[in-house]
Structure 1
Amino acid sequence: MNQRISYIKKKKRRRLLASVLFLALTLTALTACSKNGADTGSGNNGKDSAGAGETSGGTSAKGRYIEEDMDLPISDGEEVLNLTRTTDGAPVLFTSENDTQVNRYEYNGKDWSKTALDWLDRVYPDREVIPMEVQETAEGVQYVRGMDEEQTHIARGGNGQEGEELQIPYLTEQTEIGYPLITGMLVDDAGNYWLQSPYEGTAAVIAGDTLEVLEELPTSQLLSMMDRLIFQGEGTIAVNTEDNVYTVYEKNREQQGTFSVKKKGAAWMCGGDGHWYYISEEGITRLTPGNDTQEVIMDGSLGAMGSTVNTVMGAVRGNEDDFYILYYQQKAGAHSLKRYVYDPEAAAVPETTLQVFGLSDSDTVREAAIGFQKKHPDVKVEFTTSGKQAGEVTSDDIRTLNTELLSGNGADVLLLDGLPMNAYIEKGILADLSETAGEIMEADTYLEDILKNTAQKDGKLYGLPIKFGVPVLYGNEDAKKALESFDSLKAFLEKNPQASVFGLADREYIRDFLFQIYQDELFVEDGKADREKLAELLELAGKIVENAKASLFEENLREDESGYIRDPFTNFGAEGILNHPEGAATASIHSVTDMMVPYTVMRQKSLTPETIRGFYQPVGVVGINQNTAQMEMAREFVAYLLSQEVQSAQLDDGFPVLESALQDKKGEVNSDYASSFYMMNSWNFEGEQLELEASFPTVEEVEGFIKLCGTLTRPAEQERIIWNLYQEEADQYLGGGIDAETAAENIARKVDTYLAE
């Protein structure tokens, strides 16, 4: 079987392309920046790198960059093109209205002044060329990069000029895939044009006088149209010539030197006074060509560049040792602008550190950490993880953490996903959050069953989920009814010995799904395993694996699983019920995007989703270490995680437990984000072909899903150690290495030993 899954962006009116070859395609390419001014600081002027602690005298070091919000001077219907600056260091913002009119905004330190680029209307009076980016020289000459249905166009005007389109032969030369696609443009001090061409993998240098190609420099692979590979400094150009390596070219295009970066996601650069400044989620890093030294002058976790919803889309260095950074929020389709000012009196490192630990990462926690720090400038929220995905966490990882916590140490705040919550409660590791939860639920309306049922004992709450996922079931009625209980599934297979139950499925899914939904029947109240029930479950799993042709199905599935987190409710073959209507399908839905494929299948087969025995999947279950010395700060952070501000952040790591934020999910369906892409899925399994084109669900479908969320009462428990112990022995049985009774005995013995530790 060959399976291929891809997201393909639909062409939006102002982002037209001859063809679409990239994932997550977005064509808002923004300009680079340069600076003729003072350095942001080195050791001799007191601006030390971020992370400095105490001085040799024992006093706290001072001085760091502080983030300030700035209002964007744009009106409804106006789109940001790019950010640049004047020779004096004043930020300049270019925007477009109705995909035609281009406006220029210059900031004087207090206000923005607006000027329209009226000359552009005269260049393209009868042809639709959508403006994408504007460059401006020191003399005030402006260059507008635009696109029509087929190719890129560059117009020049301003500074008293009438305006004209540059007839650049390079842009009109067709290749196998059409005209060159240009996603970035610079004008160097010699008047030459540098054009970033991702399809060609080059930065073409065009002579300013003859408009002929002077040189084509190789660039690294461009994975997204939001990536930028060419940047402008003080009389120099930096080109991303190799992975993580930039080559700096002087005015005559001679190499000045190279420097390396830790490239991760979309980033931006600006330069000046012999340095370059690399802005990414890591923060602001100062680099020097020919020198491998990298100095982080601002920690990204203390600013918006560390936010998971932000993509850095432009940066300029001001004239007061400051930076202006433009961000794009893809899901919201919005931009924001921040200023970073060096404060010599601020502590180099916030005085208080609140430590948060989770086995795996959380976008919501990272987003909350940034907002919390902004409200408390003297606090640093340090979020650390095991560095592993949920399915990669081992028993040894958890035992190490358990030892630390039982000794009275550990982080102040814990994300309990995958951890032995019940054991932590019994051993007094977790603080009682009942009062905090009560105050939270009095202040706003939440899905209370989800908040209260996740980590409670004897009427007290010890953990609160900040998000949740929803396992849904759809398909054949008989197969769905069979899954209602352990006994009903057993009876169904006795009556229908050839039934696959799930249609097409792999053995890991079958193994984990059955364990997840029936585990409360496998273990008695004291946690001891029921050996007989375990053996029966393994035999049922083995029968379903055989009927579902799991070994054949998973042979070629492996190569397509990269990037997916194994989830007990996610069947990679769920779409197979289009051809196998006798089966039941399940899906784990953590976002409106996750609804696309299952709801498209349900729409085609006139099926209705149900909950799976009332289960929900708690995400980011937050608890507080009873031994923390910062109890009040920890409680305030927990409350902030459940605030409107955090719950409403447009993230896809789970649904919000705040009801108003959950209701807002209906708005995603009609957003530009929703209309901008669809999903294609195709496979060929032993001659059985399947093709599926999925789009966003309808408003009515999201409304129905939200109603479904209100019925959820049972947390799906995933204690990693017990789950790992089960998986190890179940794999031995399903692989034919041992019989079901032996596997059950091994599971029970290992679980008993673990519980006794």
Structure 2
Amino acid sequence: MNPSSNASACPPKADTAQPPASTQSTMGKRVFSIALAAIFALGLAACTPTPNGSVAARSETSRFEQAVTLPTDIMHISDIAYTSDGGMLMAANTTDWNTVAVFAKTADGSWEALFDTSTLAASLDDDTSIGAACLTPQGSLLCTTLTAEGDGGGCYLVDPGSQSEASLPAGRIAIMRSFDEDTVIASDWTGSFFRADYTTGDTVCTYRLPSGTVLADFTVHGNRVYASASKSSSANPTCELYVFDYDTGEQVNLDAHEESVFAAAFPPTDASAVATPIWAASESGIFLCSTGAIYDCSGETATVLASGNATNLSNTGKTPDRLLVGSGSDDIAVLYRERSGSANPYTLYRYPQGEQPKSTSSLSVYTLEDSSVIQQTAATYRDEHPEIAIEVRVGIPAGSGLSADDALRTLNAEILSGTGPDVIVLDGLPFDGFAEQGALLDLSGIIQDARETDDEYFENVVGAFATDDGCFAIPSRFGIPAIVGSAEAIDCAQSLESLTSYIESESESPTGTDATFSVASLYTASYRSIFDTGGSVDRDALATFFACSKRLLMLNDRRNYENAPTGYDYLGSQLDDLQGGGSGISGSGILFAENPDQQFIEIASLLSGTSFGSASLAVENASFACALEPLSFSPERVFVPSSILAVNANTPEAGQAKDFVSYVLSKPQQKQGSLDIGIAVNKTAFREAQIELGGYGMSVMGDGGSELSSVSRGPFTEAEVEANCALVESATHACMPDKTASDILSTGLLAYCRNEATLDEALDAAIQKIDLYLAQ
């Protein structure tokens, strides 16, 4: 196909279609797309606790979260641990990347630099630098060196005023930790995992992980090595538990009770957004930080030591990096790493026993579904305002089975009874109903105050809910449904029917067009056609959405079923939630196609700086002429507001609630990042983050960790940032799906796609349920 020929002609529907290559099994390769400013590591988004397994996790004495100040200018922490007397030692790089310093935490809470690698660094060749490093139990620093080509160099043991050569059997070490005198457990960049004697360089034993598995974290307890690893598949990545004999390297088979204890703390195998668990051990037992909580797995059950509401354990803007457990009952801490680029990439929190210090006021924040943005903001707001007890209330807790309609009834009852939350996150809730009932405060003053700062805002978004009567809600994030593809594909994307027909027709050819798409993005692009301003459904527009979605899903259906793990529900996973605008653009299908002669289309959403970066990589490096455009099947370009903040008109904490809303809109909070949490409404924060992220890269990795191919680019230029801002500002109309209505449509579309209902039956049932809901 010639992408420049007949660009405006959209072919009719084809009778047969070739399944898209982009949905083929990815066994043997993995695609990674991340900002270059961050450390290249496999990270998965966190979630709130959902204990599972045959042994239920139980709670222990309450603990509270307390920030621990770190030295300034820390850029990378190689190792950190409690000492026997309750102090801490830390090995870290400051702004001088070639110097690793060892710090000790003093009794007054400050950090003292004990010694560093500056003398060693000065003795190295110009093309050699310090690589991995770890603390030994004796307080020495063991470190490796790297050449400019990335090859492993030497190994050294550094103490105050001295250094000596050591040895390791592998070259480029990624992680290493020492648990006894003279040996170290290390993994190299290919994923192998071994224990070595660094005085002789001999390998003591190797801990073997299955092919395609990436080591995440490990610890030693007793005579066992406990490890967590991630494994990718054609469905969701999974977190796996492995246990080895410390001395022999042989894998240990846990008994049924041990498996049940860890199952209560480990993420379920079907989890779609979980943090790879991290480990710690002490004389008292074995511990896990996993699924938004800290667990003691030493006893008959998995005991919850601390969990996440309004703490950083539920803050998906931060990745738990190290779990620390010392000898004292209060010696439990978690080192977190920022998910996005930051001048201060690490934070440290301890979790002592007892209740949070008494607060002088309180603040409750309600969100229909758990929100990473709100959990993240609540955690940082509490850090800055320890005098305020802040609570995040989730209307539909994970695994509760509650419907959005039931949660809404409960919320309305609380508001009427005067027990409602102070701040309401309106995502998925009927804004018009709350506003018409006078249940929300006017927030016009907050917007006006924000405009009087030095910051600029995306006015098309921040004022989306402003009327002549006031502004009763303010989005703090948003997404834009978009399409990345050829000019011909974009021309055919003026309607969902013509785009679907184009994809079907071109997919017949071995060198035709394949597509990856999010049904949720198609839904938000169609929303203003499906629903009128009063919420009533246009039957013809809904029929088009149902029919085209099924046709597109069937193009992917056969291959996804063939390659999916046993029990994976492809259609269910695609249609589980139409809310929120869908997944973020990745660009990977366009860049790493099985057949380089094929043209690819990606339909997803611009949800973060990474979405823009991934789209730019695809446009710049595709094997065909490629472009990025917002996607809308109505005359106006649309955006999807998210983390929409409102204040309960009856709250006794109105001033505090408004201050929280202002805090969310501030530049520091707007620059907080996570995985596809939404574009910042603060335009200044968006601009600065686009440049500060430092660049973007994407790679296809083989099972053994070998890099098959990669692309990269530097940071966006000021001109490119302004072009991205212009694209954002071209989306002028808000699309705010109602969760209850969206769930009704999702159920109807799933029944139609599974052939459990005809198109007319699915439409009749969905429209009848929505009419009943609107009549309530």
Deviations 1:567-623 (A, max 9, x none): 767799985999787x98643110122235544444441536356322111111122
> Which letter maps to 1:754?
Y
Q: Does 1:621 align with 2:621?
A: no
Match for residue 589 of structure 1?
606
Deviations 1:413-459 (A, max 9, x none): 33222222223333444444334444444444322221222x45653
Alignment of 1:103-182 (within 5 A): 103-108=101-106, 109=108, 110=110, 112-117=112-117, 120=120, 128=128, 130-138=130-138, 141-146=140-145, 149-150=150-151, 154-158=155-159, 163-166=164-167, 171=169
Q: Does 1:755 align with 2:774?
A: yes
1:407 is paired with a residue of what secondary structure?
Answer: helix
Match for residue 414 of structure 2?
408
1:185 to 163, 173, 177: 177
Deviations 1:486-537 (A, max 9, x none): 9xx79x999999799x96558984xx6676445545555544444xxx2366
Residues 393, 423 of structure 1: alpha-carbon distance in 2 compared, 3 angstrom cutoff: farther
Residues 379, 160 of structure 1: alpha-carbon distance in 2 compared, 3 angstrom cutoff: closer
Q: Does 1:633 align with 2:656?
A: yes
Alignment of 1:118-517 (within 5 A): 120=120, 128=128, 130-138=130-138, 141-146=140-145, 149-150=150-151, 154-158=155-159, 163-166=164-167, 171=169, 183-188=175-180, 191-197=181-187, 204-206=194-196, 227-231=216-220, 239-240=225-226, 260=262, 262-263=265-266, 265=275, 274=284, 282=292, 287=296, 289-290=298-299, 292=301, 294=303, 296=305, 299-301=307-309, 303-304=311-312, 306-314=314-322, 315=324, 317=326, 326-332=335-341, 334-338=344-348, 340=350, 347=356, 353-385=362-394, 397-409=403-415, 410-443=420-453, 444-453=455-464, 455-456=465-466, 459-473=469-483, 504=514, 509=519, 516-517=524-525
1:656 to 680, 701, 709: 680
CA distance in 2, matches of 1:756, 1:519: 20
CA distance in 1, matches of 2:690, 2:734: 24
Count of matched residue positions in the alignment of Structure 1 and Structure 2:
665
Contact 2:287 2:298 (8 Å CA) reproduced: no
> Which letter maps to 2:374?
V
> Which letter maps to 1:714?
H
> Which letter maps to 1:413?
V
1:355 is paired with a residue of what secondary structure?
Answer: strand
Match for residue 6 of structure 2?
none
Deviations 1:548-569 (A, max 9, x none): 7752333224667798876767
CA distance in 2, matches of 1:729, 1:321: 52
2:730 is paired with a residue of what secondary structure?
Answer: coil
1:640 is paired with a residue of what secondary structure?
Answer: helix
> Which letter maps to 2:642?
V
Deviations 1:156-195 (A, max 9, x none): 35377661223x6xx26xxxxxx7966222141xx24141
Deviation at 1:282, TM superposition (A): 4.3
Contact 1:469 1:618 (8 Å CA) reproduced: yes
Deviation at 1:210, TM superposition (A): 6.9
Deviations 1:702-730 (A, max 9, x none): 43111221233211131133234344445
Residues 240, 220 of structure 1: alpha-carbon distance in 2 compared, 3 angstrom cutoff: farther
Residues 160, 237 of structure 1: alpha-carbon distance in 2 compared, 3 angstrom cutoff: farther
> Which letter maps to 2:378?
A
2:744 to 725, 729, 754: 725
> Which letter maps to 1:589?
L
Q: TM-score, normalised by structure 1?
A: 0.70
Residues 692, 386 of structure 1: alpha-carbon distance in 2 compared, 3 angstrom cutoff: farther
Contact 1:364 1:646 (8 Å CA) reproduced: no
Q: Which moved more, 1:429-438 or 1:443-452?
A: 429-438
CA distance in 1, matches of 2:586, 2:111: 54
CA distance in 2, matches of 1:193, 1:587: 48
Q: Does 1:66 align with 2:66?
A: yes
Identity of matched residues, %: 17
**What are the ranges of 5 or more consecutive residues in structure 1 without an aligned counterpart?**
26-47, 52-63, 173-178, 682-690
> Which letter maps to 1:404?
T
Match for residue 535 of structure 1?
540
Contact 2:207 2:244 (8 Å CA) reproduced: no
Residues 628, 398 of structure 1: alpha-carbon distance in 2 compared, 3 angstrom cutoff: farther
Contact 1:729 1:746 (8 Å CA) reproduced: yes
Alignment of 1:667-682 (within 5 A): 667-668=691-692, 670-671=694-695, 674-675=696-697, 677-678=698-699
**What are the ranges of 5 or more consecutive residues in structure 2 without an aligned counterpart?**
1-18, 45-59, 229-239, 268-274, 565-569, 703-707
> Which letter maps to 2:667?
Q
CA distance in 1, matches of 2:141, 2:527: 67
Q: Does 1:605 align with 2:601?
A: no
> Which letter maps to 1:240?
Y
Match for residue 92 of structure 1?
89
Match for residue 647 of structure 1?
670
CA distance in 2, matches of 1:617, 1:657: 12
Q: Using CA pairs under 8 Å that are at least 6 residues apart, name the structure with larger relative contact order, 1 or 2.
A: 2
Deviation at 1:646, TM superposition (A): 1.1
Contact 1:201 1:218 (8 Å CA) reproduced: no
Contact 1:194 1:203 (8 Å CA) reproduced: no
CA distance in 1, matches of 2:86, 2:678: 42
CA distance in 1, matches of 2:769, 2:405: 14
Deviation at 1:237, TM superposition (A): 7.4
Contact 2:524 2:640 (8 Å CA) reproduced: no
Please report the RMSD computed on the Cα atoms of aligned residues, expressed in angstroms. 5.3
2:69 is paired with a residue of what secondary structure?
Answer: strand
Deviation at 1:293, TM superposition (A): 6.3
CA distance in 2, matches of 1:638, 1:728: 34
1:641 is paired with a residue of what secondary structure?
Answer: helix
Deviations 1:12-46 (A, max 9, x none): 9999xxxx9x8459xxxxxxxxxxxxxxxxxxxxx
> Which letter maps to 2:142?
Y
CA distance in 2, matches of 1:336, 1:611: 37
Contact 2:311 2:375 (8 Å CA) reproduced: no
Match for residue 53 of structure 2?
none
> Which letter maps to 1:538?
A
Deviation at 1:468, TM superposition (A): 0.7
Q: TM-score, normalised by structure 2?
A: 0.69
Residues 160, 199 of structure 1: alpha-carbon distance in 2 compared, 3 angstrom cutoff: closer
> Which letter maps to 2:540?
A
Q: Which has the larger radius of gyration?
A: 1
> Which letter maps to 2:422?
D
Residues 405, 221 of structure 1: alpha-carbon distance in 2 compared, 3 angstrom cutoff: farther
Q: Which moved more, 1:369-378 or 1:81-90?
A: 81-90
CA distance in 1, matches of 2:125, 2:488: 65
CA distance in 2, matches of 1:154, 1:714: 59
Residues 127, 556 of structure 1: alpha-carbon distance in 2 compared, 3 angstrom cutoff: same
